Amino acid sequence: MTSLTELVPAPRGVVAGDGEVRLTERSRLYAGPGTEGAGHWLGAVLRQATGLPLREGRGPRDTAGGIGLALDPGLGPEAYRLVSDHDGVLIEGGDAAGAFRGAQTLRQLLGPDAYRRAPLGRDRARTVPHATIEDAPRFRWRGLMLDVARHFMPKEGVLRYLDLMAAHKLNVLHFHLTDDQGWRIEIERYPRLTEVGSWRARTKIGHRASPLWNDTPHGGHYTRDDIQEIVAYAAERHISVVPEIDVPGHSQAAIAAYPELGNTDVVDTASLTVWDTWGINPNVLTPTDTTLRFYEGVLEEVLELFPADATGPRGHSAFVHIGGDECPKDQWRASDTAQKRIAALGLADEDALQSWFTGHFAGWLAERGRRLIGWDEILQGGLPPGAAVSSWRGYGGGIAAARAGHDVVMCPEQHVYLDHRQDAGPEEPVPIGYVRTLEDVYRFEPVPAELTPEEAGRVLGTQANAWSEVTEDQARVDYQVFPRLAALAEVAWSALPAPAERDFADFERRMAAHYRRLDALGVAYRPPTGPLPWQRRPGVLGRPLDGPPPHR
């Protein structure tokens, strides 16, 4: 049994009772109308962890020591109430997602053994303390971006991360599927995107200035069936998957597969291969009708594979991310084709050309009932109504977007880029970017103080971004993401005070219990005392940035 004061993320309100509910062979599990999915999930994980039968109940209070799930729409989206008393455990959700969030809290209350895939012995106590917990999320968008383009994460790893996200009450997976270093999604009408674009001959080890290479070919992609499985698995956990197809920069893998997509009057695109190093790539898409039709074809299949579900978690499945970041304009300046396009459209410059490109797909998606979201560079040259912004270059882009009437997801690199190093010490593996400790992430505030209440309402929420240039396998991803994702989850879910007033000592105390949950789940997190010997990577060059990160 876990103490009521060891929950992560912290619930809004807890009233402790006197006593405990003990799950036994006689305990039953009842899932009322609208909570069947949460009941199925909860029964599956508790049966494997405890060995108890947890037979189907006839009502929410079927047996003393049983578990009941029900809906109470008055609680609001994703909110829940958990009551544990002499009658058993009753979880009421404001909607199906709320019931599922409450089930996650119940799992925490049962202790770390509830996260195992087989029981450790029938003599183990399986108890829940008597209490009433009232809880609801602060933000409607609570996410994690996984970059599977730089280093491919097999499908099983993505499913595992969806479980880890669900355990932390996160509800958006931002799925970075395409980049210069790899194209990871099957598109039937353009088979070369995966036949050619999903594999590279070698890979830079460490920062792009490193002299080290891995000469083993690297790649992989998700089939259409894989994508549908991932989306369905996420939906069962009330997580929306927002796909990212990066345009017009970060596109060398696509150009390697279909050279006509590049600026053929500037560079010999037929000689390009999938990029094997890191950084900002000069090879960008050519702004022609051929390119527009090609990516419309790509997006038609993307919309089919990632359907917009009006009943899903807070409507996030309507979004499609088009990237839009780090698009050098040098080739467009040198391209006769691009310059003629600028002139024909009456545009001011190359920034306006990218804005036109973005606007085209914003309109195309809107006609199909979907919404465009992109990195904050898409603000350059103007942004069409309805488009949203992922603010990564600090807070500035998000502030500008909110003031212009656009929805915002706050994910500034100086605060929530989890590929950045966690300590300044020499033992930290492949030191990238600024030092961002667990406490730094815990004190991150997604809503800038300078926004008015109306503007602040346009901040949908926040997400952590896990770029994968230097995280080539599951253990490396785990090390960079955890435990800091737990801090981000609490920032996104819980009603915390201002950053300076947050009780980090209490969070550290609760994390001591949470580490045991992560241990049971097999997460190779960074220990609070520093990297273990096998987590270090001596001799691999990183890109550390000196000094504290800028606040704005």
CA 79-76-10 angle, 5° bins: 25
Q: Is 250 a catalytic residue?
A: yes
CB 42 within 8 A of CB 59: no
Q: Is 455 a catalytic residue?
A: no
Q: Which of 179, 180, 226, 440 is catalytic?
A: 179
Q: Is 508 a catalytic residue?
A: no
Q: How many CA atoms does the CB half-sphere of 488 hold within 13 Å? A: 28
Distance from CA of residue 377 to its chain's centroid?
A: 20
Q: Which of 415, 412, 390, 414 is nearest to 402 (CA)?
A: 390
Q: Which of 546, 467, 489, 396 is nearest to 171 (CA)?
A: 489
Q: Which of 151, 176, 238, 250 is catalytic?
A: 250
Classify burial at 308, counting beta carbons within 10 Å of its beta carbon; exposed 0-12, middle 13-18, buried 19 or more.
middle
| Spatial separation of the C-alpha atoms in residues 352 and 357, rounded to whole Å | 9
Q: Which residue has the tokens 């001799």?
A: 539
Length of the chain: 552
CA distances from 429 to 145, 209, 416, 533 (A): 21, 16, 18, 10
| Spatial separation of the C-alpha atoms in residues 248 and 325, rounded to whole Å | 8
Q: Which helix (H) or strand (E) holds 461?
A: strand 459-466
Give the β-pairing of 127-135 and 13-22. Answer: antiparallel
Burial 361-390 (b: 16+ CB within 10 A, else e): bbebbeeeebbbbbbbbbbbbebbeebbbb
Q: Which of 236, 326, 508, 519 is catalytic?
A: 326
Catalytic residues: 179, 250, 326
